Chain A
């Protein structure tokens, strides 16, 4: 006699739940689908479908303004990712491994950039740079300007928080006895970090770095405030294009950015799900 499992009529509640999840997916992905489809449209008008073509992708990679913006984006992303990963990892180590005066306060401050509205942070940074530049000019006669430098600094500022959160989660899972064991086995502080701590938190560090990279590549609001002439990044450029009227070129640029972001996020998740932590068949001897 066999048991027929799972075959029973669905209740109305279950049907409703199923419908709901399909609706949610549609809500999420239908606009993306439309965007992707219309990026392959040959027509000059965004809304009128004529025939499939790669015309707009060709134009993206021939448009000097787009390429410039892309170059700026990559420079800012590279600088801010490297700097915020190093600083964020250091902050995570300080918070997880040491006890110091004002630790709670520092801990709270670190989460601020994640919590406060992006536009608030943008205004703050703009004011900060403006005041700072004025002060620098009046004291040492150096007058820096808005540009890739200010954008990079701003991206570092908000990325540190995200990197710290991700690295801390990883550090929290690590047995602090391992660092004591390394010290017990004659490793200096640096050697213990290099040989034991860093390899073990590497998935977190890489995950944090990729998150920082993605956030930097996607940022519009803050970048828009602290950018200077000639330092437009790709998302800011796209935003500007939209205001002048949507052309299918934007669709193509958006799809390129979408795919790049998706790849980065996927890789980031891959790092954070440590392959070593999977259950391995235990070998008997």
Chain B
């Protein structure tokens, strides 16, 4: 798999603020890659540099091996789907979709045919002659997609394209986008602050914060093995417990309890133990907890009913731990005020910096 996009040592400085700092990233051909992070983390600036709307202050940006860092956007084999769609309001749907082909001086008959196919792909053939302003949000979204994809770009850039849609439509479009990407086989770079979108659609995710790329990996990697406290906390719910490293196989929690975990840093270092609420189980005091599990005893202080699950807050000497238990037969229901043991598999324990 050759790389569609390669960024090496890319930084972007606005005034004296680093929007993106020393970014190294290679995105494979045909990959669905998401840049995930809170607003202001530099993900949009990174996308805009790939599109050519911003030029890197330093570093190299290659598209299929060709250096592009300082090329204007109209010289790059990439197309963008904008957050606000940016459809041309004075043009019809088909004029919007055909714009790129007209600028590239493609023959008239071919434009007609390719626009027809693109509209067909997004199921908007019946709206071809409508003004772009008469469309609903979801339709505008699909026109924006067709307008970009009709040019058969090497890379499609999507800047939070589902942000303006309501929840139901957003979920439908997630599936549609993923299907579309698999069908056309074009590299997608998808910018979002929505972790669910990133997890469900991406082949790989890059998590950014404060201009830095913190971790790149498959959705499973990112969710199960976060390498930093930020990534652990940003994606999904997680319990972060302060601890000290004892040896390669164990750490001591703040309350003094020794738990098993694979550690990297030197003994005595301050670290944070990260455990997802759904990986925890509650045991009554009378029950036997399997010996291989990590176990912490505490008192249940809160129980929240979510329909399919119960959330328990358990007050322990090591801090308040949130436990997510499924609401199904066989899983015992615990009461507020009850003493209980929180237990989890050492394999589900991640150790990150404090």
- Please give the residue numbers on chain A whose beta carbons come within 8 Å of chain B beta carbons, in ascending order: 175, 177-178, 180-188, 191, 195-196, 199-200, 276, 280, 282-285
Q: Is B90 a contact partner of A199 (Cβ separation < 8 A)?
A: yes
Q: Is A186 a contact partner of B100 (Cβ separation < 8 A)?
A: yes
Q: With A200-B89, A280-B134 in contact, do A187 and B74 touch (Cβ < 8 Å)?
A: yes
Per-residue A-contact encoding for B61-100, CB less than 8 Å = 1, 0 else: 0000000000011100011101010111110000000011
Which 9 interchain pairs have the tightest Cβ spacing?
A: A185-B100, A181-B86, A186-B103, A177-B86, A183-B73, A186-B74, A184-B80, A187-B103, A199-B90
- Please give the residue numbers on chain B whose beta carbons come within 8 Å of chain A beta carbons, in ascending order: 51-53, 72-74, 78-80, 82, 84, 86-90, 99-100, 103-104, 126-127, 130-131, 133-134, 136, 139, 147-148, 151
Closest to A191 in B: B103
Instruction: Give bound CA distance, A178 to B126, whole Å.
Output: 25
Nearest Cβ distance between residue A279 and chain B, in whole angstroms? 10
Q: Is B99 a contact partner of A185 (Cβ separation < 8 A)?
A: yes
Nearest Cβ distance between residue B346 and chain A, in whole angstroms? 50
Query: B100 to chain A: which residues have CB within 8 Å?
Result: 185-186
Q: With A178-B88, A199-B90, A200-B90 in contact, do A185 and B79 touch (Cβ < 8 Å)?
A: yes
Which of B89, B99, B104 contacts A182, CB < 8 Å?
Answer: B99
Nearest Cβ distance between residue B183 and chain A, in whole angstroms? 22
Q: Is B72 a contact partner of A185 (Cβ separation < 8 A)?
A: no
Query: A276 to chain B: which residues have CB within 8 Å?
Result: 89-90, 133
Query: B148 to chain A: which residues have CB within 8 Å?
Result: 184
Query: B86 to chain A: which residues have CB within 8 Å?
Result: 175, 177-178, 180-181
Interchain Cβ contacts under 8 Å between A and B, 12 examples: A175-B86, A180-B73, A180-B86, A182-B99, A185-B74, A185-B151, A186-B100, A200-B89, A200-B90, A282-B134, A282-B136, A283-B130
Q: 8 more A-B contacts (CB under 8 A) besides A184-B80, A185-B79?
A: A178-B88, A180-B51, A184-B79, A185-B100, A186-B103, A188-B74, A199-B90, A276-B89
Instruction: Give bound CA distance, A199 to B88, whole Å.
Output: 10
Q: Is B147 a contact partner of A185 (Cβ separation < 8 A)?
A: yes
Instruction: Give bound CA distance, A188 to B78, whole Å.
Output: 15
Closest to A281 in B: B134
Nearest Cβ distance between residue A187 and chain B, in whole angstroms? 5
Q: Is A280 a contact partner of B133 (Cβ separation < 8 A)?
A: yes
Q: With A177-B84, A199-B90 in contact, do A185 and B126 touch (Cβ < 8 Å)?
A: no
Q: Is A181 a contact partner of B52 (Cβ separation < 8 A)?
A: no
Instruction: Give bound CA distance, A58 to B37, whole Å.
Output: 77
Q: Is A180 a contact partner of B133 (Cβ separation < 8 A)?
A: no
Instruction: Give bound CA distance, A180 to B82, whole Å.
Output: 9
Q: Is B151 a contact partner of A186 (Cβ separation < 8 A)?
A: yes
Q: With A180-B73, A181-B88, A200-B90 in contact, do A283 and B147 touch (Cβ < 8 Å)?
A: no
Query: B84 to chain A: which residues have CB within 8 Å?
Result: 175, 177
Instruction: Give bound CA distance, A276 to B87, whole Å.
Output: 15
Q: Is A184 a contact partner of B51 (Cβ separation < 8 A)?
A: yes
Query: A182 to chain B: which residues have CB within 8 Å?
Result: 88, 99, 103
Nearest Cβ distance between residue A172 and chain B, in whole angstroms? 15
Query: A177 to chain B: which residues have CB within 8 Å?
Result: 82, 84, 86
Instruction: Give bound CA distance, A191 to B148, whole Å.
Output: 18
Instruction: Give bound CA distance, A199 to B89, whole Å.
Output: 10
Query: A178 to chain B: which residues have CB within 8 Å?
Result: 86, 88-89
Instruction: Give bound CA distance, A284 to B103, whole Å.
Output: 32
Query: A283 to chain B: which residues have CB within 8 Å?
Result: 130, 134
Nearest Cβ distance between residue A4 and chain B, in whole angstroms? 41
Instruction: Give bound CA distance, A196 to B136, whole Å.
Output: 22
Q: Is A181 a contact partner of B136 (Cβ separation < 8 A)?
A: no
Nearest Cβ distance between residue B83 and chain A, in whole angstroms? 8
Instruction: Give bound CA distance, A178 to B133, whole Å.
Output: 14
Query: B147 to chain A: which residues have CB within 8 Å?
Result: 185
Instruction: Give bound CA distance, A283 to B103, whole Å.
Output: 30
- Which of B52, B74, B90, B147 neighbours the largest number of chain A CB atoms within 10 Å of its CB? B74
